[in-house]
Amino acid sequence: MSAAEADDRAESIRMIRDSAAAVAPPGGDLKRVRDLRWQDPGYDAGLFRQMGEMGWIGLRLPEEMGGAGLGVGEMCALAEELGRGLVPEPLIPAALSAQVLAAAGGKGPLPVLLAGEVLVLTAWQERADTLEVPGTSEASRHFLPMAAGADFFLLPVREGGRLALYELPAARCVPTIERTQDGGTLGTLAPNMAEATKLADDVGEALPAALDEAALVTAAYLLGGMERAFGMTLDYLRQRQQFGKIIGTFQALQHRAADLKMQVALTRASIESAAAALDAGATGDARRAAVSRAKARAAEASLRVTRECIQLHGGIGYTDEYDVGLYLRKAMVMANQYGSATLHRRRFMTVSPEVEA
């Protein structure tokens, strides 16, 4: 990449970060997030529509498909900013569905999804902690994020060695809803194939690639959350006094804070490296290794950083009224989405040429 191209890319990412301020103002309060917890559907449909109008749902789609034609680096930058603000709107699963529908030739509800007028969820997961897509026609599909607000489900189904794609209106097959730690919802769907409409004969190459991107973008969201929680903790350490001294001057706490800062920095480096690799056209094992390294680190680091941030706050950190605890709740929900740290470490060990060497 030339210097001019690098400058253009940096400007594009900066503009994406700035646009996120309309939804998640830097340093803003979390009253909106708190008000949406434990409510159906768990997010603001009006704000989700605004995300569509801003081009976020189709950020990765080519312009001829109604998208913005931007890269993984831009999508990760956007997700990071949304993670700072704990934005609950299901942008990541919606963007995944947009990519799958684009692979199906733009059929079905793609235009209204890109506009943010409906929520389309891809029901691909048949068991816990996997990125495999068995495509069993009658099998229940699990762990559908914010499923209480879904208008359509996409069902990948194995047919004759290919992965066909079906569309199922949510009104024809209502999912079972469970509450999550952060106040959102997860759904389990028992497919009613008699009510489904076939959209494509084969999306077998597009879906695994879209799942990898969703895993990486989720890692970026987790990065934004842990970095904001860490920033809140540093502010607290600089202000809180004990025994007549600012507790941030205590060497033991300084060492713990330095370790957390390193965790955040290493996670950022891993995510940015993976995004750059995908944007440069990495394929096959190289692509999977880059994604898995980033997602494994983000999943582990986000839980470690947010837990220690609560401990460093002392008793107040354990109260629900104090915002830092919301970041731990979010990390607990999202760390395992699109593969846990254990799954991605295992996959990295399998596909990485670095390990083989």
Q: Is the pLDDT reported for residue 12 higher than 90? A: no
pLDDT of residue 357: 37
Query: Could you tell me the CA-to-CA distances from 316 to 42, 128, 309 in Å, in that order?
Result: 26, 34, 11
Range of weakest confidence among 13-22, 96-105, 343-352: 13-22
* CATH superfamily of the 3-200 domain: Acyl-CoA dehydrogenase/oxidase, N-terminal domain (1.10.540.10)
Q: Average per-residue pLDDT in the chain?
A: 93
More confident residue, 245 or 47: 47
Range of weakest confidence among 19-33, 82-96, 127-141, 259-273: 19-33
Range of weakest confidence among 62-66, 126-130, 168-172, 244-248: 244-248
pLDDT of residue 354: 65
Residue type, 211: L
Q: 197-219, pLDDT tens digit by residue?
A: 999 999 999 999 999 999 999 99
Residue 23 CA to residue 48 CA, distance in Å, equals 10
Residue 15 CA to residue 55 CA, distance in Å, equals 13
pLDDT of residue 11: 85
Q: 277-297, pLDDT tens digit by residue?
A: 999 999 999 999 999 999 999
Q: Are strands 162-169 and 176-179 parallel, antiparallel or unpaired?
A: unpaired
Quick one: average pLDDT of 320-334?
A: 94
Predicted confidence band of residue 112 (pLDDT cuts 50, 70, 90) = very high
Percent of the chain with pLDDT over 70: 98
Residue 308 CA to residue 249 CA, distance in Å, equals 17
Q: 239-251, pLDDT tens digit by residue?
A: 887 778 888 788 8
Quick one: average pLDDT of 350-356?
A: 71
Q: Where are the domains of the chain?
A: 3-200, 206-356
Q: Is the pLDDT reported for residue 355 higher than 70? A: no
How far from the centroid of its chain's Cα atoms is residue 23's Cα? Answer: 16
3-200 against 206-356: fold identical: no
Q: 152-199, pLDDT tens digit by residue?
A: 999 999 999 899 999 999 999 989 999 999 999 999 999 999 999 999
Residue 97 CA to residue 206 CA, distance in Å, equals 11
SS3 183: coil
Q: 308-319, pLDDT tens digit by residue?
A: 999 999 888 888
How far from the centroid of its chain's Cα atoms is residue 75's Cα? Answer: 10
Q: Which residues contact 123 (CB under 8 A, 6 or more apart)?
A: 141, 144, 153, 154, 155, 168, 189, 191
pLDDT of residue 41: 92
pLDDT of residue 356: 47
Q: Are strands 185-189 and 176-179 parallel, antiparallel or unpaired?
A: antiparallel
Quick one: average pLDDT of 33-52?
A: 95
* CATH superfamily of the 206-356 domain: Butyryl-CoA Dehydrogenase, subunit A, domain 3 (1.20.140.10)
SS3 200: strand
Are 141 and 163 in contact, with CB atoms under 8 Å apart?
no
